Structures are given as structure tokens and as C-alpha cells.
Structure 1
Amino acid sequence: MAISFVDNFVLTIDGKKVASSETKDVINPATEEPFAVAPIATPQHLEDAVNAASRALPSWSATPVEKRQEMLSNLGDLVARHLQQFAELLSKEVGKPKAAAGKEVGGLVAWLKAAVSHSLPDETIVDTPQRKVVVRYVPLGVCAAITPWNFPLTLMAWKLVPALVTGNCLIVKPSPFAPLGTLKFGELAQQVLPPGVLSVLSGNDELGPWISKHPGIAKISLTGSVGTGKKAMASAASTLKRVTLELGGNDAAVVLDDVDPKAIAPKLFRGSFMNTGQVCVAMKRIYIHENVYEAVRDALVEYAKTVKVGDPLDPSNEVGPVQNQMQFEKVKIFFDDCDQNGYKFALGGKLVEHRKGYFLPITIIDNPPELSKIVQEEPFGPIVPLLRWNEEDDVVKRANDTNLGLAASVWSNDLDRAQNIARRLEAGTVWINEVQTTHWDQPFGGFKQSGVGVEHSKHGLYSWVNIQSLTLNRALL
């Protein structure tokens, strides 16, 4: 059954399309103009979604895991048939270039199809003539996913697949800045999933706290800022909800002195500026050995000049706008701070006044002070500092000198040396000679204030279940 991707955006509750009397304009960040209207969920809508999930839970949790896996895989096939419509919607609401938007939708399909490899079967740990002990993995119940605006479909999939495959029912709340793709996914999913198993509620800033405090919700999985994560965790404490939090990062990249500057430049560029730098695991600080500093800097600048910034619907543009006005204004503060402090701009820095859209130039700061704002904080936009180093102990100390620890990377042709540095970095994921690669079998989570718990792999699945020890004494009474 076909659905429209151009209008009629609705909530999904209990398998049904539900309208709301209150709505919100969704802004195209490339034009600063509204192009669609999203519904705003009320407390009653949330109550209805929780009640529907509670009714669906007994049957869904009792459904054989193979059947749940099959449904999710079939949902992946259904999304694939609408890939271009989802991608165009993402381009308009997130500002993603067409190729990047298509890649995100393709990732959603791949994650759904991978559900067939996700399960937590019972484990027999004792089996003697006298006694048997089985470890069971029991669904938590009604859960919620709170997702951000930078990768609305990818990061929804990271939560939805493990939640549903382990037998939970899920309520998804997308960001108010980019709710449309998720709303359409929720509508489409009802062609595959039983009513109540998945609800999608878009809303304003009040909806998240309502979810965090709701006594009928057993767990929240949230991707967002550190500040948002702290608020959600505090609210969840009132009912002792489980939480998985994937929060911000100030990811360091360490470049050794044996790299080929021209070969590494495209990799550093994409690691820093993909999705306009709006990636939790984007390179936020690039430490380059002093022996190759100028050569790598110049090669990176030269490569960056070949990349076009502009309307994401134009396939020749590889970098789009910042996603929303609030983030646009936050990132501009970093530009202004660098300018006011006299830091050297190797590239960019000058804003185009009176241009429509939340566009900022690709900007590279040349060796600012270690204690500068651009080094110490996460801009989440198209600006990155390059910094010199010459001693391994020093660069490891500088890379670790942050209260965040989401990801990091090391770049070298000496793999032993690179691994020695990587093992000393305080981050949940450390890549060597690659960046931003994830997989459903690879645990993903942050150290320090970058998160609580992990997603993906069996370790991520464990966060969606209660662990029950079932013991049997075979002696007759």
C-alpha cells in the first residue's frame, strides 16, 4: 500500500494514523522556509500510545523471535521500495545532500534486514541429574526512543531493531527539528507490525520530559547532547527507568608523521565535515605531528576547496546547511570567538551575509591554543582546529584532557605504533586509519560524560532485557 511523502504527516498510535489539533512548521534549512506541518503530541496522545503498547506487549513478547526478526526484515524491504522518497524528505528536513540522504536510508534498510542476526536465546548454565539453571532474557516492556535531528532514521534504527527483536514495544519521539521521515516510517511500519508494537509521536520540547517521567515506560534510549542526557536521566530516576544514553563527543584524531598528506586529506575532510560536521563522532580536534603539519594542513585545505557547499537537492553539492537556526547560531559563536582572538584561518571563516539558508563555510583553524573554545568544546558544525604535536605522551594527554570520550582515531602506516597510541585513548570507539564505521555487531558507546551503556552487539541487546535465572531442583517433594 503506497503512502504519500509530501503531505498529511500524522502520529501513529495503536496502528492508526492520528491527527493533532496542534501543529508545528518544519523548516527547510536550505531555504529557511516552512515546507511541511508536523503534528504536536499531547499528554493524552502519549497516554494512548503507552496503553496501546501495553496491550500489544503480551502477544508481541510471546511471538517467536524468528517471527519478529522476519517482520523487521520485511519492513526493511518495504523501506527499500520507498528509498528515494525517504531520501528526498531527508534532504529537505535535515539539509543532507542527496547522496548522503540515500546512504542514510540505505543504512536503515540494512539495519532492519540485520535483525535476523539479533537474538538472546535462553542459556543453560547448570544441567545435572539433581538441578538445572537456565538464564532467560525477558523484555523490559514498553520502552521509548528519543532521537536527534542529524541522523533521524539511522539513530532510530539503532534503537528500534534491538528493542523489537528482544520483544519490547516501542514509542519513538523524533526531534521536533526533523520529525517527518520518522513519522512516515511509523506509518509505513504498520503494514508489517501488529498494532501497538510501534508508535511514533512528534512533539515539542515538553514531550521528552513527559516520556522520561511516565511510569508506564520501562526504558529510554536517547541520543542527544550531554545536557539533554543529564535531564533525561534525572527525570527517569523518579521511576528507576533503565537508560541508554549516547551523548556528545569532542573526538580527537592523532595523525603520525609517516602519513602521505595527499592520501590522508580526503579522509580527514570527510571525518570532519561529513553531514556539515553534525556527527557525534566527527573529528573535532586534529592533532598532526609537527614533521608533517604544514604538508597535511595544506593538502587538507586544497582538498576542501574542491568541495561545493550549497542546496542539498543539487547533486553537485557535497556539504549542505546547518540543520536548524538554533544550531546555526551556536556554531557562529565559534567562528566569532576564533576571529576575535586572532586565530589563523587556514580556510574559511568569512560568513556570507544575507544568504538564504543556514549555510556556513567550511572552516579550518590553524593551530589555535589548546585552551581555546574551539579546542575545548564541541561546535557540531563545519569548523575544525588543527593542532601540532611532537611527543606521544603529550598528544595522548591532550587528546584525553576532556570530560567527553565518545570516539577517537589514529592515523599512521606504522600499525604497531598506532595501536599503542589507540589503546591509551579514553574513548568508547577508537578507529585506526578509518573513521565513523559502525556495525550492528560492534559495541558503540561513550566513556565519561559521552554516554551511559552501549548500543549494538549482544552487549546492546542486554540493555533491552531483564535477566532472569530460572532454577529447577529435580528432587521430588
Structure 2
Amino acid sequence: MMHESDSVRALPIITFDDDELLTAASASAAASADAGVAVDPATGAEIGRFPNQSIADLEAAIDTAEAVQPEWAALDDRVRRAYLHRAADAIEASSEALARLLSREQGKPLNGPNARFEVGACAVWTRSAADTELPVEVLIDDGENHAELHYRPIGVVGAISPWNWPMMISIWQIAPSLRMGNTVVIKPAETTALSVRALVAVMNQVLPAGVLNVVTGPGRTVGAALTRSPKVGKIMFTGSTPVGQQIIEASAANVTRLTLELGGNDAGIVLPDVDPAAIAQDLFWGAFINTGQTCAALKRLYVHDDVYDRVVEELAAVASSVPMGVGLDEGNLLGPVQNRNQFDVVDRLVESAKASGARVVLGGDPDYDAPGNFYPTTLVADIDPHNDLVLEEQFGPVLPIIRYTDLDEAVRLANELDYALGSSVWSADRDAALAVAARLRAGTTWINSHGGLHPAVPFGGAKKSGYGREFGVEGLKAVSEPHVING
């Protein structure tokens, strides 16, 4: 039964402890003949199990979402907003247990811009989706003609979330979709399935039954079936460009609406007027937030020859001072690479740089026999701009630093790749930075920072980094069907 907004605010909320949350996230895994195993990437220890569901399970979830969607859409917008605020309350009530499970399964430490930060962002983005206004637009009203633009729900939204920010990016998909009257079926990445199942369990305390559904299973079967379903009107996906291309093909027959946030290999350009010591901290965290496992992280840094050596020196000083280790240790700020496949990608690219004669300033020497997927914080200097480490997205704790003397050449190198999610310009002169920013091809360009996001500011990529925008008004429009009424 759907409730009025006052009743929604009074819905009871359980505060989960660690064991209760793990039990909720693992629900029905025991009944699964082929349960998935969640492993701590810092230690290799088993955390828990989750159901490996079938295509039949997925279809049942889609049918449920489809059945309840008309009633959810028929609610007054104020009531759906109230549900989202109550869901944010529920996230906050169990925030510590959510953060601890996220830290164990994803690997990110509790402190810094990591697990507690991510769970807090889930509540912030949920409230922002609830509070963003999307009024009816009067397009023309001249006495003879009157036309209005309304935004209607699409229906069932299929959400496919990644392993790097599994809770936060899931919320980016869930919250605006629910706000606009859609229902959701979410398929999380297999290596962070428990985190997303836990988040959904917490939110579903207060959401009406069937509005938000989670299905866990292999991407090649369950995920692929979600993208092909004729009952799904919109797919939201964050992940690699090759998988995004597969989704485009799979969804074509149904003309399914798509929002795709795909791979990034973000460039930063440092101009010669900077104070290296003043920008080193922000450069470091722009590159190494979440141990470098962020789509819009700084992944290749072009530094003018006049300040190159000092920038490298200051970056190395910061990098060597940031502790890396098991996420539940309160003192750590960097964690392991989330899975061994990605660890191997990072290792291959660093070895390619070493073989080319590039200078490893820091790191680059993992202990392959140690438990967990720890790759040391690594800076690589004096590297050819067309080395594999520069051209491919490393998605790990490594930053190549390229020396340049000609700004036009640096801009050309920054723009030459197929990826264009984000970029940044670093300068003491804002006008000079803005002039360079205007020449860069990217969904977002930051000035004297990199990767910061705001729930009111649209975010998305250019070129093969995807299409569609999330957050704010544009994010609500992306999960809606525009409807013009004339007369």
C-alpha cells in the first residue's frame, strides 16, 4: 500500500549492525545451488555469500517492477520525494555497518575520501534527487498558441553498477529514477554484490514493495538479459567502453533509452606558472582517490618543463606519506586493487613503462606473494607520451607524468585519445587556465582540481566515454520521457 507524505516520514527504520547487515545482504544465498562468494581484496578471506540468480529470477524481478510501476508513478511527486528522504534516513541510520561492509568487500579504507565518504554521499545524492525541481515548462504562450513540456516516467529502469564505487553509483542510478516515477531493477558487479544488496535492503525498509529490486548474477547472462528485455525502458550503465558497446547493440532492437558512463583516461595539464608545493596534494588526490579506481580520476599528467622536476618531487613527497593497507584499519587512506584481474592490468602497464626506459620515481615493485591485491602507490616520470601506460586506462594506483615544452602539443596529446570523460588545467592564472580548458575535449574540465562532483552539476562523458548526463535537472530529464502538450 502506498502512503501519503506524512505517513512516509513516520515509517520505522532499523539500524543494522555488521552481522545483521551481512545477513540481509546474503538473503536467499543458502538456497542457491551456485552461491557467489564475496572475498576481501585486502586479505583474500571470504566475507559472505550471495545468490547467483538466473535469467528466470531476473524476469520475475522485471515483472514485479513493471506491475507496481503505474501505482508508484501515480503518487503525488511530494510523496515520492518523502520516500526518498526516508530512504536517506535509513542509509544514515546504518551508515557505519554499510561503510564497514563496503570497506571489506571493495577494499577502500573507512577514512578519507573512501567508505564512510561513499555511504554519506549515498544519502546526499538521494536527498538531492528528491529536492531538485523539475517544473512544467511553458514553451509558448502568445495568446494564440500554448504549449507545455512535461516529464513523464519511462517505466522500468535497468541499472548496472560497477565495483569501484558500488553504493554511490547505484544511488546515482536509483534515486533519480524513483523520483521520476520509474521502478528499478539493479544488477551490481559480481565482485561487490554484497555491498549493493545491503544498500537495497536498507532502503527497502521504507520503500513500497517491488519499487526497487536487486538481482545478482553473472554479467554475461543476467546482465545481458537485462539489457535485452523489452520490458525495460531505460538502461543506466557505468563501466567499460567495450561493455557499453555491447549494451548499445543488445538494446537496439527495443530502442531502449540509454545513459552510459564509460571508460575514462583523464588528462591534466600543468602550466608553468604554478607553485608545485601548493598543488601537490590536490594533484595526488585527483589521481589516487579510491586508490586510482575512479572513472574520472586523473590518469595522465602533462607538466611543463619549467616546473616538471619540482612537480614530480612534490608529488612523490605527498605519495610517500599516504598510508596504504587493510581498509578496516582506521589509519589507512589507500587500499588494495579491488580484484586480481585489475591488479594484473596495472602491473602489465607499469612493466611496459619500465621496459621503455621510463623512470619509476616511487613504487612499481609489488609483492606478488603477499595476501591481497596491494599494488604500491606508483609515480612514473620521463615517459613517452605514447607508452601503453599513458594510452590505456590503468584504473589503479599509478600515475604517468609526461614532460612538455609546447602547450599546443600538450593540448593535442590530451585530446588525441578516444576517451573524454574529464580533464583538468592547473595554473595560477585563472584566465589562462580557462583558455586552455576551452580547447580540451571532455565532459567536464576542472580548474586547479580534478574529479570533484556535485549533485546539482551534470556529469557524463564525450567521445567513447559515453553519452547522457547524470545529476541535477539534466539527470532527472534523462530518466524521463518528455511530453509536449499543445492547446
Give the TM-score normalised by the residue count of structure 2. 0.93
CA contact (8 A) 1:120 1:166 kept: no
1:444 is aligned to 2:459: yes
- Structure 1 residue 19: Cα displacement: 5.7
Distance 1:191 1:360 in 2: 39
Contact preservation (8 Å) 1:119, 1:165: no
Q: How does 1:25-424 map to 2 (within 5 A)?
A: 25-99=37-111, 100-127=114-141, 131-205=145-219, 206-424=221-439
Distance in 1 between the 2:96 and 2:196 partners? 15
Note closer, same or farther for the CA distance 1:6–1:459 as it changes in structure 2 (3 Å cut): closer
Counterpart Cα distance in 2 of 1:65 and 1:146: 25
TM-superposition CA deviations, 1:136-161 (whole Å, max 9, x none)? 21111011110000001110111111
Aligned amino acid, residue 68 of structure 1: R
Q: CA deviation at 1:118?
A: 2.2
Q: Structure 1 stretches of 5 or more lacking a match?
A: 473-477
* C-alpha distance in 1 between matches for 2:361 and 2:141: 67
Deviations 1:107-128 (A, max 9, x none): 0011112233224332233446
Cα distance, 1:130 vs. partner?
5.4
| Alpha-carbon distance change, 275 to 155 in structure 1, aligned in 2, over 3 angstroms | same
The whole-number CA distance in structure 2 between the counterparts of 1:326 and 1:263 is 36
* Aligned 8 A contact 1:53 1:169 in 2: yes
CA contact (8 A) 1:276 1:321 kept: yes
- Judge conservation of contact 1:70–1:116 (CA < 8 Å) in 2: yes
Letter in structure 2 aligned against 1:300 = L
8 Å Cα contact 1:429-1:446 kept in structure 2: yes
Q: 1:356 to 1:179 in 2, by over 3 A?
A: same
Give the partner amino acid of 2:120: G
Q: What is the RMSD computed on CA atoms of the aligned residues? A: 1.6
Q: Which amino acid aligns with 1:157?
A: I
Q: Which runs of 5+ in 2 are unaligned?
A: 1-13
* Aligned match of 1:475: none
Distance (whole Å) between structure 2 residues aligned to residue 243 and residue 157 of structure 1:
17
Q: Distance in 2 between matches of 1:445 and 1:251?
A: 13
Asked whether the 8 Å contact 1:119–1:166 carries over to 2, the reply is: no
- Evaluate the alpha carbon distance shift between residue 112 and residue 171 of structure 1 in structure 2; reply closer, same or farther with a 3 A threshold: same
SS in 1 for 2:22: coil
Q: Is the 8 A contact 2:360 2:381 kept in 1?
A: yes
Q: CA–CA distance in 2 between the matches of 1:8 and 1:104?
A: 20
CA 1:208–1:309 in 2, change beyond 3 Å: closer, same or farther? Answer: same
* Corresponding residue SS for 1:7: helix
Paired residue type of 2:416: D
Partners of 2:62 and 2:333 in 1: CA distance: 41
Quick check: 1:410–1:433 contact (8 Å CA) kept in 2?
A: yes
Distance 1:420 1:18, change over 3 A: farther
1:51, distance to aligned residue in structure 2 (A): 1.1
Distance 1:9 1:304 in 2: 35
Change (3 A) 1:261 1:409: same
What fraction of aligned residue pairs are identical, expressed as a percent? 36
Task: Tell me which residue corresponds to 1:5.
Answer: 21
CA contact (8 A) 1:145 1:170 kept: yes
CA distance in 2, matches of 1:33, 1:18: 19
Deviation at 1:268, TM superposition (A): 1.1
CA drift of 1:9 comes to 2.7
Q: CA deviation at 1:8?
A: 4.7
Q: Distance in 2 between matches of 1:106 and 1:256?
A: 35
Q: Are the equivalent residues in 2 in contact too, given 1:98–1:315 (CA < 8 A)? A: yes
Structure 2 residue identity aligned to 1:35: I
Give the secondary-structure state (helix, strand or coil) at the position aligned to 1:417. Answer: helix
Superposed displacement of residue 131, structure 1: 5.0
